[in-house]
Structure 1
Amino acid sequence: MASALDEDTQQSLAAGRESVKAVLRSIQKDLQKVFIVFMLGFLGTFWALRIYVWDFLKRVTEANMTPEVAERTEIIAQTPFEVILLQAKIGLIIGGIVALPPLIYFARDELRDRGMWPDSPVARWKLVVIGLLAVGLFSVGVAYGIYAFFPIMFSFLAGFGLEAGLQPTYSIVMWTEFIVFLSLSFGLAGQMPLLITGLSYSGIVQYETFRDKWRYAVVAIFVFGALFSPPDPFTQLMWAFPLVALYGFSLYLAKLVVTAQRSSDRIDVFDAIRNHWNVVAGAGVLGGGLVYAFYEYGGRTGVNDLLRWAGSDWRFLPPGGGLGLDPITAAALYAVGWAGAFAFVATLWAVYVDLDTTSAGYQYGDPAAIDVGELDAAGVQAAPDEPFVEMTEAESLALAQAALDDDDPEKGQAILDRFDAVADEREADDDDGSDGDAASDGITNSVGDRTSRASSTFLSELTDGEDAEDDIGGYYKDLRFIFDSLRSRSFRIVAVFGGVMAAVFTWLYLGGLRTIVSDLESRVPAEIDGGISVITLHPVEALIFMVKVSVLFGLIAVFPVLLYYAWPALRERGFVAGRIRQVYVWAGSLFAGLVGGFALGYSYIAPGIIGWLVTDAADAHMIITYQVSDFLWLVIFTTIGIGFLADVPVLMVLLNKAGVPYGAFRGRWREVTVGVLLFAAVFTPADVITMFLMTVPLMFAYGVGLGVLFLVTFGGKRNLSPPAAIVDR
């Protein structure tokens, strides 16, 4: 039997296995030392979590809460071994991270023999500087999350939950992982300057790519913040603005390093400081003066008043407060530190100015250092040959790609033409011009037609040629034709989806969620003492539920719009029959079934099921506490879910009217059952009972639909429409 992996992949995997075995063999004598380091990290983490970390995280959580909210916020363990297993898991992770450096160190000889270790020695001071920068940036990111972001975030989440009638009772596992993962994300985000600078310096990613794609980076930062932070604007801005500023600072450092790399023989840091001594000295004086003014002229008092107004318990202490220093000495140390920081930034500016003028040929007239990425198409064509002589093929493709992404294909083609021309001249001098022409054509074609070639290659792999496309019944062509017909209407479709989603989320956020919870709680039988308590085990559980429900309503609302715009293409391909006015019949019928089922479920079925469950638990003398996601999804399944069940027979009648005969529905019930089981397995919790709880009602509704069609079509003898072309495939 042929392997699913090609030969190159198999060889790579085999080489990787051999490398791992060789590394492990080479460090056998040192494994005991690595294991000791691992155990120290594991036991130290385990001890710290028990003695200090839990209380510290609880203080961080309640730091910005009012006393009333903090009193009602609880951290609970759901299983007997949950806390100790969580400590063990975190200890294993920290132990593995701590043991990794000595593991690599002891395996350095084997790594060097396999070409995985630098041959030329790297100065230790450089490694120390890089390590200190990485640790410092990571620590700053984590500190920002713990001391600034989390207190405000948890205060909002707990307060919002209580206002919505939800008890903030967080699971210790979910609560801890939430804090740890977000703290790690801030710490990793703090590595952005080091990462961007390193990638630019090594040439893995061109600096021009980071510079030209800054808009996409800003959008990605705000989108990530919208997904992982509460929906209030203040918290999202607290997430996004520091990262945007950090991205800008990273770009500055990257340009500084790359320019220094390209002009390393033409710049001296001390010369730059001497050339701009007035700016460097003035920046140092400004930094020290700001510290003096902050403490002397009421800056500390004003900031503390602002923090108190915002509800934060954090305050700026007097100089030396908490450090055991007298105010004068502490203020002097603060002033010296900030003066040094300002002078350092000014030094970077001075070096950048001298490097910029030097590298661009401004001072020395070096045309080879011209930045081609900053030129327009005419500038590229008029530029001398020197920049393209020094340029590699990968750099030319990267610059051309950046121009294409900026909707400037003329500039991209000009870069490739100039690079090809210079390459042809160089190869002609070496009497090897034919290969250069072929490479030139390959480069131009790879940029000009890469999208169409990629899509055609994917299609050929997917369909295995024209025969395979015919074998699958031409469904790919049909679907592609339908999607192409929707492309020009995509803005309106997205606008409807986004508008409905935003409206539903806003209603839930501004009180709709509390209205639903309160209304359902009011229907609990009066004899149940204390009623029910709905809790949130995860800090953002309620927000995630609101987003999911908003997406669900957005999909429901966008369905008739999709159907309207896709109807002509569906009719042309034989999926449906009738004029476009049939869309109104489809949309109206399905909407009526959905609304009718929802009204029935919300008025009778949902309260009845909840009342029965509550009474059963109360009779067993249990404390009735429901997790918000489980409780509200039960409500969704017994309200909107009833509407979907009502729509199954309605949809079957509509499809029969569109040309799907009764015999097809009756003969394909096995395929429908498998499809429903697959759907239930994906969209329900991972247990068999809930999967069948969804599958059985849907198949019952399908059976009702078959019964309705049997009556309407006289057992399939008189279908509402002749069979469509799609049925014969």
Structure 2
Amino acid sequence: MASALDEDTQQSLAEGRESAKVFLRSIQKDLQKVFVVFLLGFLATFWALRMYVWEFLYNVTKSNMSPAVAAEADVIATTPFEVILLQAKIGLIVGAITAIPPLVYVSRDELRARGAWPQSPVSRWKLALLGLLGVGLFSFGVAYGIYAFFPLMFSFLAGFGLEAGIEPTYSIVMWTEFIVFLSLSFGLAGQMPLLVTGLSYTGIVQYETFRDKWRHAVVLIFVFGAMFSPPDPFTQLMWAFPLTALYGFSLYLAKLVVTAQRSPDGINVLGAIRNHWNVVGGATVLGGGLVYAFYEYGGRTAVNDLLRLTGSSWRFLEPGAGLGTDPVTATTGYAVAWALAFAAVATLWAVYADLDTTSAGYQYGDPTAIDVGELDAAGVRAAPDEAFAAMDEGESLALAQAAIDDDDPEKAQAILDRFDEVSESGEGDAGDAGDASAGNADGSAAAGDAGGEGGLMGTMQNRTSRASSTFLSEFTDGDEEEAEDDIGGYYTDLKFIFDSLRSRSFRLVAVFGSVMAAVFTWLYLGGLATVRNDLESRVPAEIEGGINIITLHPVEALIFMVKFSVLVGLLAVFPVVLYYAWPALRERGFVAGRIWQVYLWTGALFGGMLGGFALGYAYIAPGLIGWLVTDARLADMVITYQVSDFLWLVIYTTIGIGFLADIPIAMVLLNKAGVPYRTFRSRWREVTIGIMLFAAVFTPADVITMFLATLPLMAAYGVGIGVLFLVTLGGRRNLSPPSKAIGR
């Protein structure tokens, strides 16, 4: 290929650059005003950080900690210019965000001329309402993170670190970025209603997609929360529940907007209240009664006692405290306010419930509003053509796959048949459509002869294979055989091997997840402190004070625990993958020998890993750490190590030794599997490059450290070549004949 971009794409990019230049020249006279706004935002942020923000964030960090933990927590600067550079960085970001609205405003005429601005005027009150809603949702998300989420999170992190012998001494940069970015994530999550509603209204993503995929959204929310919040269930629920509720509210707003868009009549709120007056009235009474009972019948006292047991400093005050009113009046006011809030929620539900009978597809006969996914097989066949004319092939495949997942192959086949029928009738004339329909009938009969579900799956596989064929042909001008050569000739082999593992994926994930969860639980319940104390006990006696280990990032210790658990999980699942993939590897010529050799591989590699680990943990790790500590103490240095650096040093000098021991063992096993001695000897350059890449990824960003990791690995590879030289008599007698895949 002469170029990765064709001529049309290059021309489009050139035109885009020219349009950007013209656009900037047209608003050049107003850019000074935009810069003034940016400068004001920058200076205001810089001043606020120096005067108020640092102290405020520091108080938030310690607000929910016990006195003993708060006394140990601290925020430090690790470089002389760290604080002022951080203030400048945050000021630049806030200034740029502040300058975006005036930049859009002064360029509205140019945007309108290019079709990127509404041609018809939009009411200012609508724009103001939309802006206020966006700002309000963003502010609510940030406030929830700062006042509710962070106090509990920092209390847990600091307490967990101290129990493991790790001092919560946070770097001001990492601490601030952690708070800022996580707060922004809550603020952006608060924009979910606007995002879902906007995508649904414009039709970029159908409302039905957001509605039908709500389970996937909830799972993603919990997974994201598990990755970026502490592992205690309470904090994860504090992350996930509000976002899940927000997603439900987003679906509600999207339903309202889409219904209003598809329906010529407005939504009748009063009519919905009349239709569900009993629910609205009952919710109103329930809301007021619950709040009144909470204050009058001991609810406030019980909750405060529970908060006191959990160590939280937050309490429910007496009614009217700080408001200047007596308790009776305040309790009545609280009850009325909550009764109105419950009434508002019940009203929203009533409107939503009536949407099922006021939607465009139900009342006004709009066939494009019909949700095909909600129909059964008979309903799909009876649905009007317009419901399928707006689909593309990907949407039809998604609906068919959803039907198969619901164990309804008849519905899936009906969706594909109706989509093909409507598509062919739209592309050709009546005669062509008749011929195509006859062809489809013949194809359906053939599929029926082959088996209903099998024929359907074959149809879907043929459809999806078009995408992969098109992908390959883009690189080879339509020649798929050339595509396999272009990517090394292993495309078919690798696909065959991965397909053999697909049916075992649940078992592989189960093994990986179980081992990872077990290791993480052990570390979390005291394993981390056990290892740290055991290694510190081997520090030479003349080193007073031992080793101070600190965490510069609030979740640094947790991140290490997750990474280490993943590493052990991968090591544990490797023999299982090898066992299930061995028949496919043997069939494609990558290995030789029967499957019993998997047990030999597992035993040999596990033995090498265990022996190297025992050697490293008993002698190498404590000896190296003791030497480093002694050297630093003799130079009158304060011995304070970052937790991630210290623990990874332990990993490299324990599990790393086991990995080095496994390299010669693996080379002998590979020779037994069909990789000849001469291949190992002639490919040392490629191996060196691969090891350097591995070291660059899994070691700190330092050239010297990378070479320090590369040299032992290459030495182990050299030892392996020496062992193979002896075992194979200089390559004259390999343990197994070379496999056919090696000669490619």
Same fold by TM-score greater than 0.5: yes
Alpha-carbon contact 1:212-1:402 (below 8 Å) kept:
no
Question: Counterpart of 2:342 in structure 1: which amino acid?
Answer: F
Q: Which consecutive residues of structure 2, in runs of 5 or more, have no partner in the other structure?
A: 441-455
Q: How far, CA to CA, are the matches of 1:90 and 1:168 in structure 2?
A: 24
1:210-609 alignment runs, 5 A limit: 210-265=210-265, 267-273=267-273, 280=280, 283-284=283-284, 286-322=286-322, 334-335=334-335, 337-359=337-359, 371-383=371-383, 385=384, 388-389=385-386, 392-394=389-391, 398=395, 401-407=398-404, 408=408, 410-415=410-415, 417-418=417-418, 449-461=462-474, 465-467=480-482, 469-470=484-485, 474-609=489-624
Report what 2:198 is aligned to. 198
Alpha-carbon distance change, 706 to 364 in structure 1, aligned in 2, over 3 angstroms: closer
More divergent stretch after superposition (444-453 vs 135-144): 444-453
Q: Which consecutive residues of structure 1, in runs of 5 or more, have no partner in the other structure?
A: none
Alpha-carbon contact 1:192-1:250 (below 8 Å) kept:
yes
Alpha-carbon distance change, 433 to 346 in structure 1, aligned in 2, over 3 angstroms: farther
Alpha-carbon distance change, 209 to 115 in structure 1, aligned in 2, over 3 angstroms: same
SS at match of 1:456: helix
Q: How far, CA to CA, are the matches of 1:619 and 1:314 in structure 2?
A: 48
Alpha-carbon contact 2:540-2:630 (below 8 Å) kept:
yes
Q: How far, CA to CA, are the matches of 1:205 and 1:439 in structure 2?
A: 31
Alpha-carbon offset, residue 326 of structure 1:
6.5
More divergent stretch after superposition (83-92 vs 447-456): 447-456
Report what 2:27 is aligned to. 27
Q: How far, CA to CA, are the matches of 2:397 and 2:489 in structure 1?
A: 37
Report what 1:156 is aligned to. 156
TM-superposition CA deviations, 1:562-605 (whole Å, max 9, x none): 22222222222232222222222222111111111111111111
RMSD: 3.1
Report what 1:188 is aligned to. 188
Alpha-carbon distance change, 568 to 421 in structure 1, aligned in 2, over 3 angstroms: closer
Alpha-carbon offset, residue 665 of structure 1:
1.6
SS at match of 2:168: strand
Alpha-carbon offset, residue 462 of structure 1:
5.8
Alpha-carbon distance change, 324 to 374 in structure 1, aligned in 2, over 3 angstroms: same
Q: How far, CA to CA, are the matches of 2:614 and 2:46 in structure 1?
A: 53
Alpha-carbon contact 2:613-2:656 (below 8 Å) kept:
yes
Alpha-carbon offset, residue 426 of structure 1:
8.6
Alpha-carbon distance change, 693 to 400 in structure 1, aligned in 2, over 3 angstroms: closer
More divergent stretch after superposition (306-315 vs 502-511): 306-315
Q: How far, CA to CA, are the matches of 1:471 and 1:283 in structure 2?
A: 67
TM-superposition CA deviations, 1:38-63 (whole Å, max 9, x none): 11111111111111111111111111
Alpha-carbon distance change, 324 to 665 in structure 1, aligned in 2, over 3 angstroms: same
Alpha-carbon distance change, 410 to 16 in structure 1, aligned in 2, over 3 angstroms: farther
Q: How far, CA to CA, are the matches of 1:113 and 1:525 in structure 2?
A: 76
Alpha-carbon distance change, 390 to 525 in structure 1, aligned in 2, over 3 angstroms: closer
Alpha-carbon contact 1:22-1:110 (below 8 Å) kept:
no
Alpha-carbon distance change, 725 to 397 in structure 1, aligned in 2, over 3 angstroms: closer
Alpha-carbon offset, residue 404 of structure 1:
2.5
SS at match of 1:167: coil
Alpha-carbon offset, residue 650 of structure 1:
1.3
More divergent stretch after superposition (2-11 vs 654-663): 2-11
Alpha-carbon offset, residue 324 of structure 1:
5.9
More divergent stretch after superposition (314-323 vs 91-100): 314-323
SS at match of 1:534: strand
More divergent stretch after superposition (452-461 vs 39-48): 452-461
TM-score calculated relative to the size of structure 1:
0.92
Question: Counterpart of 2:717 in structure 1: which amino acid?
Answer: Y
Alpha-carbon offset, residue 719 of structure 1:
2.4
Alpha-carbon offset, residue 355 of structure 1:
3.6
Alpha-carbon distance change, 323 to 121 in structure 1, aligned in 2, over 3 angstroms: farther
Q: How far, CA to CA, are the matches of 1:556 and 1:637 in structure 2?
A: 15
Alpha-carbon offset, residue 285 of structure 1:
5.2
More divergent stretch after superposition (46-55 vs 95-104): 46-55
1:100-179 alignment runs, 5 A limit: 100-179=100-179
Q: How many residues align?
A: 723
Q: How far, CA to CA, are the matches of 1:340 and 1:111 in structure 2?
A: 44
Alpha-carbon distance change, 654 to 286 in structure 1, aligned in 2, over 3 angstroms: closer
Alpha-carbon offset, residue 342 of structure 1:
3.1
Alpha-carbon contact 2:38-2:98 (below 8 Å) kept:
yes
SS at match of 2:258: helix
Alpha-carbon contact 1:424-1:436 (below 8 Å) kept:
no
SS at match of 1:75: strand
Alpha-carbon distance change, 648 to 272 in structure 1, aligned in 2, over 3 angstroms: closer
Counterpart among 730, 737, 742 of residue 715 in structure 1 = 730
Report what 1:99 is aligned to. 99
Question: Counterpart of 2:692 in structure 1: which amino acid?
Answer: L
Q: How far, CA to CA, are the matches of 2:692 and 2:641 in structure 1?
A: 27
Alpha-carbon contact 1:420-1:440 (below 8 Å) kept:
no
Pair 1:670-2:685 in alignment: yes
More divergent stretch after superposition (681-690 vs 460-469): 460-469
Alpha-carbon offset, residue 711 of structure 1:
2.1
Q: How far, CA to CA, are the matches of 2:308 and 2:573 in structure 1?
A: 46
Report what 1:50 is aligned to. 50
Report what 1:655 is aligned to. 670
Alpha-carbon contact 1:283-1:346 (below 8 Å) kept:
yes
Alpha-carbon contact 1:34-1:102 (below 8 Å) kept:
yes
TM-score calculated relative to the size of structure 2:
0.90
In percent, how many aligned pairs have the same letter?
A: 78
More divergent stretch after superposition (433-442 vs 656-665): 433-442
TM-superposition CA deviations, 1:190-248 (whole Å, max 9, x none): 22222212211221111111111111111111111110111111211111122122222
Alpha-carbon distance change, 726 to 267 in structure 1, aligned in 2, over 3 angstroms: closer
Alpha-carbon contact 1:649-1:702 (below 8 Å) kept:
yes
Alpha-carbon offset, residue 552 of structure 1:
1.1
Report what 1:6 is aligned to. 6
Report what 1:76 is aligned to. 76
Q: How far, CA to CA, are the matches of 1:37 and 1:587 in structure 2?
A: 65
Alpha-carbon offset, residue 94 of structure 1:
0.7
Q: How far, CA to CA, are the matches of 2:731 and 2:382 in structure 1?
A: 76
Question: Counterpart of 1:138 in structure 2: which amino acid?
Answer: F
Alpha-carbon distance change, 3 to 436 in structure 1, aligned in 2, over 3 angstroms: farther
Question: Counterpart of 1:596 in structure 2: which amino acid?
Answer: G
Q: How far, CA to CA, are the matches of 1:440 and 1:31 in structure 2?
A: 65
Report what 1:627 is aligned to. 642
More divergent stretch after superposition (500-509 vs 518-527): 500-509
More divergent stretch after superposition (341-350 vs 495-504): 341-350
Question: Counterpart of 1:457 in structure 2: which amino acid?
Answer: T
Alpha-carbon offset, residue 417 of structure 1:
4.8
Alpha-carbon offset, residue 177 of structure 1:
0.9
Alpha-carbon contact 1:397-1:447 (below 8 Å) kept:
no
Q: How far, CA to CA, are the matches of 1:305 and 1:380 in structure 2?
A: 58
Alpha-carbon distance change, 465 to 297 in structure 1, aligned in 2, over 3 angstroms: same
Q: How far, CA to CA, are the matches of 1:588 and 1:311 in structure 2?
A: 50
TM-superposition CA deviations, 1:366-405 (whole Å, max 9, x none): 888654442212123234x3xx447752489646633433
Q: How far, CA to CA, are the matches of 1:310 and 1:391 in structure 2?
A: 56
SS at match of 2:265: helix
Alpha-carbon offset, residue 88 of structure 1:
0.8
Alpha-carbon distance change, 261 to 468 in structure 1, aligned in 2, over 3 angstroms: closer
More divergent stretch after superposition (659-668 vs 141-150): 659-668
